[in-house]
Each structure stands twice: as structure tokens, then as C-alpha cells.
Chains A and B, each alone.
Chain A
């Protein structure tokens, strides 16, 4: 009896083992894909071609070039190959990429998605669908708008990084720490689209001559538009320049903001952080002071006065003195107060300038509508359908309270 039972159990166990082995090994649907058989896409560029079709340009890693040791790290060669394809939809273009790449594209490591200006003006919502529907691309991919064609941007180089897309991502990341560009991922873009009363603000990136000087926004800096476009001279090395932002109305690009407006917009929207701000220096010095803004806190109140909206913005700002030229002999307190007042007026002017720009574009990158939507839903109901008009006639009152909390290592400028 026990012998029979034992034989039964043994047979059952053997059968179970056979089934498990057969299903795992014989089924043939093994979705294993070795990492060295993949074409790892690190950067994606999308352009709208004149005929309305899409041009997909990807930076695909060349592993062999990554492995090759650059000569002492200088002048590292590009370790990506540009592979492009066209299609009437993103999906079609992505599939077509396989024919060119020879390896299966892997989208999981795409760090940036650069959208050409034309495509952005035509609207991004439909283009973005594939990136969310497909399983590999990540919602955390950063979104950028190219001033010009995305394809040109994808061809730009970086001296320090072998992977230009990662270099661009790093540049953007550093700009974020000085609040010069908005941090816009695919996911945030989508969320902005679905948030009432808030339009996306996307970092803008231009391609400039490698020799073009970088400059912080300040009193004398030229706006990027006036910088010479580098596409003219073929063969000249080019670099990217992340500065300012693209203003969207819903999913369409409607215009640009320069770096200061972008910064003011971000502070107003409560998502800005540190920044370096140049303000007029002490009276009579003829030079500028520089302060490091450490953090801001914004409060927005919305009211209706005489049939039009009035937004009251109060911004608190903590800052540290970064550079202070020599000025008339005063007390430290007086100096700081002078700096504070000047900082306040510069910031207030920036905010108002940003608001005017947004008004003229009919877009609301601040999320003022969202403030209305959450605080005064009844009021929002009335303006919901004609929000850009309402915004156009709205008034903004800005009060900035700045405080210098640190003076750095010295109290006074050297006399």
C-alpha cells in the first residue's frame, strides 16, 4: 500500500517537473533580449517636415566607441550614431527605425525628447500618445523645444560627454538649479495639459556656434534670438544652448520667454529655486551687484474688481550677497537694505514682464487659472471658456519682500 502511494507521488512529482521544464524551455516564446543586441536610444528628436510627415532622429549608442578610451579624456569622440526615419505617425517612424538601425531600438534609456519648433507649433498632444502608450519610453524623459529643427540639435556635439543627449540633459539639469529653464518631463507636460488653468512651459534649446559666449541673463545680455544662428556655416562645431523657454497654449507652441521671464514665471508658479540675479550696484558705483537667491515663496490671490480679474502676488525671497562693488561708506544694515530694495524692484519688474509676455501670447504658464479653479471655483466657471481673453484683461499686483540672509565671507567690499 505505501509502496503504491509512493509510486503515485513520485510519478506526480516527475510529471510536474516535466511540465515545468517543458513550459519554460520548449515554449519558444522567450522574450530574452541581450543588452548587446539592442540599439540603446539616448536622445530622440522629432520634427515636422514640410509635407506634414514626421522626421524621427535618434541618437543611438555605439558601445564600441564608448569602450574606446579617449586620449586623456580630451576631445572625446561622439559615441552615438544618428539614425533617422520618417513616417506619418511616431509609431510608424519608430518602426521604420528598425530597418535603418539593424538592431532593435530600446527606448527605455531615452533621456531627452527634443521637439522641433514647427512640430511644437502644430501641437504635441497627438505626437506624445505613442510615448505613453508604448511600454519602453519613460514618462520621465525630459521634454525640450528646439529653436529651429530638432534634427540639427541632435547633431550637435559636446566636448565632455561621449553621449550628446546626456550632455544636453546635464546642461538642462544645471540650468534647473539656477531656475533658468523649467523642468518639464513628458509626464509633467501631460499633467499640465489635463490641469485646468495651467499651460505647459518647456525649456527651449538653441543650437549656437561653439564659439558663442554663454552669458547669464542680466542687464546687458542679448536675448538668444539675436545671437547668430549657427546653422549657416556648415562644418563648424556647434553646441547647444539651453536658455529661456517655450510658452505653450494647451499643446501648441505660441511663443518664447527669455531666461528672466522664465525665472519669474517659475517663481510665481512656486516651482523655482535658486538663481543668480544681477541688480544695480550701490549708488554712484556705476557697477552691478549680484545676489544669489536661495529660495522663494509665492502667494497668489485672485479677486474680481469691476468686471476684471486682479491677481495679487506676494513673493518672499531669501538671498545671499554674491558680489558687491565698492560704494559710499554706510553701515552694513543700510547696504543690505539697499540691496534688498533693488532686488525687490528687479524681481517685481521681471514678474510683471513675464505676465505681460504671457498675456500677449494668451497663455497661462503661471497656473493663475488653476489658482482660481481651486480657490474660487465659481469665478472660474465664468471664465473657464474664455480664459485667455480674461487673462489678457487681467491686472497683476506684485509685492516682493526680499531679505538678504547671508553676506558670504566678507561684510564689506574692499575699500
Chain B
């Protein structure tokens, strides 16, 4: 089945690779004629008014016509004026006896005039529009078949702020932004280590989105790295507007409900994952950074777990696991028990349950499914609306659904508790929300048709399915299965940091042992610097 699907995929990709316009054509060198060049560029942009062409005569060679081309809004005006335009206009390089010749003009401007760090020569028309779209400023001189591309980028970006997802009580408040360069900087600031390597790719035939593959040289598994490179190279699509586009092209099991590529908005999380031997894929235009390999157990982990002391965290992990089980199984268990296995309940509970369901018109399976849908509607409405209205929605929804429906005798009050508990439990494990909702619905249906037998059947099938998955060569359920005892130190329990001396072995890191050693226990009663 999966081989078949991959075959369909590759076939589609091959067909799509037929070619899209505007790229990969033969090189189009610049002409010597400035007007011709400018016209070509303007034609390319369809005379968009934001393409600014500033003609001038360089101070170093006033007889030559020149032009400054840039896209309005993508350059930093002050930088452009003071460090590029002004030097070019003044142009009298000290110590020079005679004006430079036309052919030397570019060289002269590059070497002595333009006061920008990132300047290069361009001689190809296609290269020029790439540079313009990247926010660089292009300087062309009449009679020269080459021009200059100088970096005076500057556009409106969101500042580094609290990430919208993954809120923590303790830990860094920084979140990635939409700007790739800022994001890489955020990451670099956490590693004073040149071995944090960044590889750039451009993906998306039309959007030409910059994508960075980030890894920690000497820690990341070479095989994972090679696999990530191979998969990224295979990505061929029209546009990349968010890292999700890439995620869907590189994940191991695109037809599974389980996600096999992780993501995070937080530099400290990405740094931690890199240190465990994972690789990160950052995409320009989104704060969500992809992480691979992604294992199921990661959905129970949170950045904060490592910043807090281990005991409470271990308890939290258990609570998350319980919540995950609740979020998937609670409505199903309710349906199974009320419709099939009444003898499983303690007598008093059975009586109470019968009392709450007394007079309700629908079987519990219908109730469970309907309430599940209602809950999802409320959630979706709350998510999409502006925050103040969203709250109003949830209050009205809770009142109408919770109170009125029970009072009207439409649904049992216990069902409301079940749905509410399930709904809340879902958000305890945010990484599995989408899979959880699908499983919950499936299990509820199974329970409605086959009772507990159906639930067990569903659990068997879904566990078998999850066990068959792998992410970039690592089994999805490791370290639980295949079992790895040291791996368990960071699963349902979170061992003290110095106990977790080894990086997770299932990721096959190049450097298995973390540096450092365990803290020395202070001598009981000893004073710092005290005498014997």
C-alpha cells in the first residue's frame, strides 16, 4: 500500500517537473546599453510602481549615466542613501588622479565607493531580478555589461515576541519570527559554536522561498542529515508559503494520521533538539521550524520539563499520558459502558448513570458523536475569531450546550462532563491534537458498534500502525518499542540532567555522550571555603 502511494507520488512529481516558466532558462547577459537593460528589467516587473529606478551621474565619472534600481519597501532608505547613493554621487576617491574608465567603474565602485558589507557583481539579467526580489539594490552603469548588487535590505518584520503556541511558565520567552535571517540569529545566539552549520536551499518554483537546513556538526547523525538533504532536494513544488508545505513533502508517512515531522516556534526547543542530534529545517516566512526525526514520545515532552526539577516533571509526564489516553478513549469508553457493558460499573455508578440518562432521546453513541462535533465547532469558532469574541463564543457555547441541553433533556449530564473533560484533556498534549481528534471519533464509532471489543480492536490496529512508522530512519515509537532502557530516562519519567549523560541513542547521534560531569554533592555540614 505505501509503496504504491510513494509510486503515485513520484510519478506526480516527475510529471510536475516538466518545467515552469521564468526559471532555469539559458543565461541572459546584461547588455552594455543602460536604457536597454533598464527597460528589460521594467518589462519583467510589468512596470510595477514599486520598482524604483533612480538615474544619476556618478561623481567619479560624471560623463557616465548610471541607475540605482531597487524595490520600494524592501530597502532601508537611510542605509541606501547614505552608504550607497551618497558615495556614488560624491565619488571623488581620495588620491585618484584621473577619472576611472567606464569598464573600471564597476570595480571602482565596488572597491572604494559603496559602503555596504555585502556587495557583489552581477552580469546576468535573471540574477538581477533575483537580487532585486531579495531586497538588494542594483547599480547599473551605461556601457558596462556588469552591475553591482549591494545589500541595503530593510523591510517591516515582526519583532521577536512571545510565541503564540508552546507557552511556558519557566524558560525563554523568545519565539521565532517570520524572517529567516532573524531566526538563524536567534539560534546562533544559543550556540557559541561554529559547528552550528546552516545550509541554504531555495524551494518553490514561484515563491523561491529560502529554506535553511540547520544541524550541529559532529552531533547530528550523518545518516539523518543525508536523508534530510536527499528529501529536501526532492521537494519540487510551486510555492512554499509555510513550513507545512515542506513538511508534507518530506514526511515519512504522508497518509498516516500521525505526524512524523515535528515543529517548534521556540529557539530554545530547536536548540535542545539539535543537541539531541536532530536536524532543523527553517523556512523563510514562518516562525515554525521543522524538526526531524520526530518521535511519538516527544509529544509528551515540553521545553519546560528540562528547566524544572525532575520530580514534578515526572508527575506532569504521567498526567500528560493520562490526559492523552483520556482525550482519545473517554467518549468511547462512555459509549461502550452505557450501551454494552453495564455490568462493568460499580452498582451505584451504574444507577447514577442510568439516572442521568433517564429520558434522553438518543442512544449514547449519537450523543457522543454529536457532542464531539459541537465541541469542535465551538473550538473552531473560538480559534478563528478575535480573542474577545472568541471568549464570548465559548461562554455562550458552554452555557447553551452544557446547561440548556441537559435541562431540556436532550443529553445526559454525564455526557457533558465526558465531552468537557475530553476536550480539555486534548489540549494537554498539543502535538497530537489532530491525530487525537481523529482517533477519538474512530474509537467512539467502534465502541458504538462493537463495544469494548471494538475499542481494543482499534487500539491494537492503531498501535500496530504507529509501531510500523518511522521518522527519518528512527522508529516512531522508540524508545518504547524497539525498547531501549536508557531511552526511558526521558519518557514517562524525566531523569535528572546528569543521569541523562547520553544523547538519545535511537537518533544515532555522531557524538553519543554529552559533555560535562555530574554535580559534586556538597559535604554535609560543610561550609563553603570552611576549614577542616
Listed in ascending order, the chain A residues whose CB lies under 8 Å from chain B are: 2, 5-6, 9, 13, 24-25, 30-36, 38, 40, 42, 61, 63-64, 66-67, 79, 106, 108-109, 111, 136, 138, 163, 166
Chain A minimum-CB-distance residue to B8: A6
Q: Is the CB of A111 within 8 A of B347?
A: yes
A-facing residues in B1-31 (Cβ within 8 Å): 1, 4, 7-8
Taking the closest CB of chain A, its distance from the CB of B363, in whole angstroms, is 5
* A63 interface neighbour in B4, B355, B364, Cβ under 8 Å: B355
Judged by a CB distance under 8 angstroms, whether B377 is at the interface is no
Q: Which chain A residue shows the least CB distance to B413?
A: A67
Check if B356 is an interface residue, CB within 8 A of chain A. Answer: yes
Further contacts, 13 of them, CB under 8 A, given A5-B4, A38-B342, A109-B342: A6-B4, A32-B339, A35-B337, A35-B350, A42-B347, A63-B357, A67-B355, A67-B356, A67-B358, A106-B343, A109-B343, A109-B347, A138-B343
Q: B351 and A66: CB pair below 8 A?
A: yes
Q: Assuming the A-B contacts A61-B351, A63-B354, are A36 and B360 also in contact, with contact meaning beta carbons closer than 8 angstroms in the complex?
A: yes
| Bound Cα distance from A156 to B353, whole angstroms | 25
- B360 A31 Cβ-Cβ under 8 A: no
Min CB gap B458→A, angstroms = 13
Q: Which of A32, A42, A64 has the most CB of B within 10 A?
A: A32
- B358 contacts A166, C-beta separation under 8 Å: no
A42 contact set on B, CB distance < 8 A: 347, 351
A34 to B451, CA, bound (A): 12
With A32-B340, A32-B363 in contact, is A40–B355 under 8 Å at CB? Answer: no
Report how far A13 CA is from B5 CA in the complex, Å.
13
Q: How many angstroms between the C-alpha atoms of A320 and B339 in the bound complex?
A: 50
Across the interface, which residues of A come within 8 angstroms of B8, CB to CB? 6
Chain A residues contacting B365 (CB-CB under 8 Å) are: 32
A24 touches B450 (CB 8 A): yes
Provide the residues of chain A in CB contact with B342, threshold 8 Å. 33, 35, 38, 40, 106, 108-109
Q: Is the CB of B449 within 8 A of A166?
A: no
- Asked whether, in the complex, the Cβ of B363 is within 8 Å of the Cβ of A34, the reply is yes
Please tell me if the beta carbons of A35 and B343 are within 8 angstroms of each other in the complex: no
Whether B448 and A36, one on each chain, are in contact in the complex, defined by CB atoms closer than 8 angstroms, is no
- Cα distance A386–B342 in the bound complex, in angstroms: 47
Minimum C-beta distance from A402 to chain B (A) = 39
* Top 7 closest pairs, chain A to chain B, by CB: A108-B343, A63-B355, A36-B357, A67-B355, A63-B358, A66-B355, A63-B354
Q: Can you report 7 A-B residue pairs in the complex whose CB atoms are below 8 A from each other?
A: A25-B449, A34-B364, A35-B337, A61-B354, A67-B356, A109-B351, A138-B343
Name which residue of chain A comes closest to B358, CB basis.
Answer: A63
Residues in chain B near residue A2, CB distance under 8 A: 7
- Interface bits B327-371 vs A (CB < 8 Å: 1, else 0): 000000000011110110001101111111111100111000000
- Give me the interface of B with A, judged by CB distance under 8 Å: 1, 4, 7-8, 337-340, 342-343, 347-348, 350-360, 363-365, 412, 448-451
Q: Given the complex, which residues of B lie within 8 Å of A111, measured CB to CB?
A: 347
Contacts A108-B342, A109-B342: A35 and B354 contacting too (C-beta < 8 A)? Answer: yes
Contacts of A25 in B (CB 8 A): 449
Q: CA A138 – CA B337 in complex, angstroms?
A: 17
A169 CB to nearest chain B CB (Å): 9
A33 adjacent to B340 (CB under 8 Å):
yes
Q: Are B339 and A33 in contact (CB under 8 A)?
A: yes
Closest residue of chain B to A9 (Cβ to Cβ) is B4
Which residues on A sit within 8 Å (CB–CB) of B352?
66
Measured in the bound complex, the distance between the Cα atoms of B363 and A31 in whole Å is: 13
Among residues of A, the one whose C-beta sits closest to the C-beta of B352 is A66
Whole-angstrom CA separation of A66 from B450 in the bound complex: 30
A36 touches B358 (CB 8 A): yes
Q: Would you call B340 and A24 a contact (CB within 8 A)?
A: no
A residues within 8 A CB of B363?
Answer: 32, 34
B355 pairs with A64, CB closer than 8 A: yes
State whether A63 touches B7 (Cβ < 8 A).
no
- Which residues of chain A are near B412, meaning CB under 8 Å? 36
Expressed in whole angstroms, the minimum distance between the Cβ of A27 and any Cβ of chain B is 10
Bound form: Cα–Cα A40–B357 in Å:
13
Kindly state the separation between the CA atoms of A244 and B66 in the bound complex, as whole angstroms. 116
Contact residues in B for A9 (Cβ distance below 8 Å):
1, 4
Q: In the complex the two chains form, is B347's CB within 8 Å of A35's CB?
A: no
Alpha-carbon distance A79/B342, docked complex (angstroms) = 19
Q: In the complex, what distance in Å separates the CA atom of A35 from the CA atom of B358?
A: 9
Q: What's the Cα separation between A136 and B342 when bound, in Å?
A: 10
Which A residues touch B348, using CB under 8 A?
Answer: 163, 166
Bound form: Cα–Cα A9–B363 in Å: 37
**In the complex, A18→B526 CA distance in Å?**
76
Q: How far is the CB of B161 from chain A (nearest CB, A)?
A: 47
Are A35 and B338 in touch, CB under 8 angstroms?
Answer: yes
CA gap between A396 and B363 in the complex, in Å: 63
**Inter-subunit contact A34/B339 (CB<8 Å):** yes
Contact B351 A163 (CB under 8 A): yes
A32 to B340, CA, bound (A): 6
- In angstroms, Cα B355 to Cα A67, docked, is 6
A136 near B358 with CB under 8 A, answer no
Which among B343, B354, B356, B357 has the greatest number of chain A C-beta atoms within 10 A? Answer: B354
Give the contacting residue for B354; candidates A6, A40, A166; CB below 8 A. Answer: A40
C-alpha gap A40/B347 in the complex (Å): 9
| Residue of B8, B338, B342 most packed against chain A (CB within 10 A) | B342
